[in-house]
Structure 1
Amino acid sequence: MTERHLRVVLAEDSVVLRDGMVELLTARGCRVVATAGTAEGLLTEVDRHRPDVAVVDIRMPPTHTDEGIRAAVRIRATTPGVGVLVFSQHIETAWASRLLAAGATGVGYLLKERVARTSEFMDALHRVADGGTALDPEVVDRLVHGRGGSRVDTLTPREREVLELMAQGHSNRSVAARLVVSERAVEKHVAAVFTKFDLPATEADNRRVKAVLTYLSETGG
């Protein structure tokens, strides 16, 4: 299957890492239309180019704290058609929740070590550009198991596994393949999650997104 040729704006203040990522993306058929070393530069380039996806380091100058995540949240608010994939050296559950507060479509959060795994990084990039969700498995695990006292605690171990994979952006078919079960079995687990989270069917039926947001809000801080 031919990969979609994505237009990307990349924000990373390390020149070495930035150049390496540009080389990787270009080799995989993406077009890096602009790069930025600061959050303000990122916002300018996104507004100018309106890429398919912005790839953003959470820690950016001048303070190297949350400039990147604040810029990502702003992009989601002002240019919702642009996918946002952020990456970080460490798991920051509060920032993941902050990024997803406006909805879990066209957004991703990866650890930098995952970015180094080219196939996983590219899969996440395309998923986000297509309006999906791509959350690092370690981030999802921390969010789900981080704190108790929530509706997440009512889930069985298998239902948690299914929810974690849903949060990473996998379809029922993909979840079934990963867990080596039937797609019908996955549908039953997903239905159980919806029931326990009190998510009735709606006309738009975006319960998958709501299920992800439920446990992020209850366990992500």
Structure 2
Amino acid sequence: MTLLLTGFAPFGGEELNPSWEAVRRLDGERLGDLPVVAAQLPTAFGAALRVLGELLDRHRPTLVVAVGQAGGRAELSLERIAINVDDARIPDNAGRQPIDEPVVPGGPAAYFSTLPIKAMVHALRAAGFPAAVSQTAGTFVCNHVFYGLQHRLQGTGVRGGFIHIPYLPVQAANQPGAPSMALETLVAGLRLALTCAATTQADLREGGGQLD
């Protein structure tokens, strides 16, 4: 009975990645009835899924949430859908830059999150955190991991999904106009979202993809 929580290594010339900085601070906590195990994934196509697979085999979690950086976003983004496409605008940390390649050859076009994403957004907003349901996880390594995770979890009964988070203020300082969120806020928001995921089975039936 474990909640596996992952973040990514820095990429694109950055010295840190807010996803790892936030999730590693939740390692060892208990959310709902689930102890949290946090791990870092390489920001590299293929390698990220190999490490994720090893973590799934080792910990056999009942809930898996991957977290990634989304520079330019101002809120916690609960991703709805992962698509079977790798299409990188920049090289990954291994120098790979796939264009229009499948994450899983022959796999379905897409998978939906199995997290209660609307309930999570509702809980976050009620507590004062900016949050929204997102309809795209992009086509870089975040989506690669999200799709690969959902593909691996099919038929297992294990729930999984993906959350994108904004830059940290120190990153945004080098990119005028970019939104950011303090690390303490990110950690608190993730803690609440994950607790909701761990304790909520049926999602809310609220209309509007962004819950506006």
TM-score greater than 0.5 by the shorter chain = no
Question: Which structure features the higher share of strand residues?
Answer: 2
- Of structures 1 and 2, the one scoring higher in RCO (CA 8 A, sep 6+) is 2
Structure whose alpha-carbon radius of gyration is higher: 1
Alignment TM-score, normalising by the size of structure 2: 0.40
